[in-house]
Structure 1
């Protein structure tokens, strides 16, 4: 798997909206996120169609494809950052010029619905993409340092590094109220002990499963999976989606599960009940309540990269990214 060129100070980041439009953000939020990225030393530009918003708060397939292709074709652009998630990113997959992207590999970063786009590009073009902050994520004030630290390590660094738990996490509506937030102490937890090294694939579970049976689904057999889900999941749907993914994998080497949002009603008892159904998960390293997904803060992970997991030590090392 090829690694796109790392970001450097002064590089241009292009913001595009392959799911929801940038119109979902406030003008103040856009300026705050842009300023934070500029303070890190980057130039920020926007796709021409990011502000178009239709009945489903998105734009046409043609407009989203245009922005994606222009971002990868523009030699001044060194990374592509998505505005936010949504529900329709997978609509784009048959219309992407994968040859264009393959000839111009560069960083693509986002999460949630962008799972479909990132995994499809890694699969078809054979270069690493990234599950990490959206452009909109840089609006957040509290817990931003942890999130930004791993964004920089993954997208600018070259040497392997270990990921450590955040000190605190939050599942509040920070985008509505930055001042009155509720924080809880972080604890990464072990379901089964073990140690392994392997290729990493995953992202938002229900979105990744949309790719099954298509040419855009990665070969996840013998990989390490990372999965998370949002407020729309519950124990029953998570169990069904996990079973489907494990059946598609035909054997995996490790599993990382992102922290669940509170509204999902996923208790530790429910999670163990679900995981206990799958004998293979007792013989590989499995960690849960990890810092990625729809709670804050979130690390950046390389889709198609290589990681090392030592679950009983709660150790995750990013090796090739």
Structure 2
């Protein structure tokens, strides 16, 4: 059984940095994001860790874990919203008591997906893979990014739909700030390995391949037990995105996931756009997807709105998803908050 948190207007947003904090010269990003959320009617509770950064982390693992736990236990806080990802969130997992986690939304992506996937697999509590706090600091957000609010506000048993974005941002242009954080100017096209339209459905699980692969073989990456205990063995739709892996490292990671049983019962896979995926000895991104499609005999969609090439949809770990991709490269994702 999946448990879905409730998200109410005007709730308090708890900001902590379970991975990387923000260096001093970029503190204005957090200040702008906090002001934006306040204007939208939210209250803000910002911990100490978001303002800190040293040696690839915001603070020692036990400090990060304690601050996260305090915000989770604060009944006034309705959403945990880290400023962004980072590198070493995996360090805090052993310091968290998953058995006492309240049913509360946690939203983010990149390294934060380690926490999101761990929470859902260990507890059956739904978590939200979507924008991070720093990326909603603009005067307004594009429609795809802004959908995080509607997604988290969906009542249990109800559905929400998201369509593929019209345009995406190919490169970051931090030297050209604008009222909207992203500069969306490249036409979006969702692609399939088969080259044709496709549909599939199942329970969503996923995150950033670079980091969630390190959950394999640990108490925090037991997909088989999650399926048996929380979804009665229903099919899984994986959504995956790649931050830094070249084609062969991505391939190795996916083979490891397959050998570990993570793709057992998989009905289809969604891959986000990536600026990585560099070819190696003529072995390219499309080769990775084609090899995996042959091995699993499931539809594979790529270049979707997910990950480090914005904008990105909000995917709810544990929700039941129905995926449709048309021949013209348009995508539809319907997520239903089924128990």
TM-score by length of 1: 0.89
1:174-207 deviation per Cα after TM superposition (whole angstroms, max 9, x unaligned): 4443249472111111223543321111110121
Task: Tell me if the contact between 1:65 and 1:96 (Cα under 8 Å) persists in the aligned partners.
Answer: yes
Q: Which residue of 2 aligns with 1:70?
A: 70
Question: 1 CA distance for matches of 2:336 and 2:286?
Answer: 29
Counterpart pick for 2:118 among 117, 120, 133: 120
Question: 1 CA distance for matches of 2:208 and 2:24?
Answer: 21
Q: Which residue of 2 aligns with 1:207?
A: 211
Structure 2: state its 5+ residue gaps.
228-234
Do structure 1's residue 163 and structure 2's residue 148 form an aligned pair?
A: no
Do structure 1's residue 316 and structure 2's residue 339 form an aligned pair?
A: no
Task: Tell me if the contact between 1:120 and 1:216 (Cα under 8 Å) persists in the aligned partners.
Answer: yes
Do structure 1's residue 184 and structure 2's residue 194 form an aligned pair?
A: no
1:237-294 deviation per Cα after TM superposition (whole angstroms, max 9, x unaligned): 1111122222222531110000111x54369982331222235567423211111100
Would you say how many aligned residue pairs link Structure 1 and Structure 2? 316
Question: 2 CA distance for matches of 1:35 and 1:171?
Answer: 28
Q: Which residue of 1 aligns with 2:19?
A: 19
Cα distance, 1:33–1:250 mapped onto 2, change above 3 Å: closer
Q: Which residue of 1 aligns with 2:231?
A: none
Task: Tell me if the contact between 1:110 and 1:133 (Cα under 8 Å) persists in the aligned partners.
Answer: yes
Structure 1: state its 5+ residue gaps.
none
Do structure 1's residue 234 and structure 2's residue 246 form an aligned pair?
A: yes
Task: Tell me if the contact between 2:277 and 2:284 (Cα under 8 Å) persists in the aligned partners.
Answer: no
Cα distance, 1:24–1:107 mapped onto 2, change above 3 Å: farther
Do structure 1's residue 244 and structure 2's residue 256 form an aligned pair?
A: yes
Q: Is the partner of 2:4 in helix, strand or coil?
A: coil
Q: Which residue of 2 aligns with 1:270?
A: 284
Task: Tell me if the contact between 2:113 and 2:212 (Cα under 8 Å) persists in the aligned partners.
Answer: yes
What are the equivalent positions in structure 2 for 1:85-164 lying under 5 Å apart?
85-101=85-101, 104-140=102-138, 144-158=141-155, 159-164=158-163
Q: Is the partner of 1:196 in helix, strand or coil?
A: strand
Task: Tell me if the contact between 2:167 and 2:184 (Cα under 8 Å) persists in the aligned partners.
Answer: no
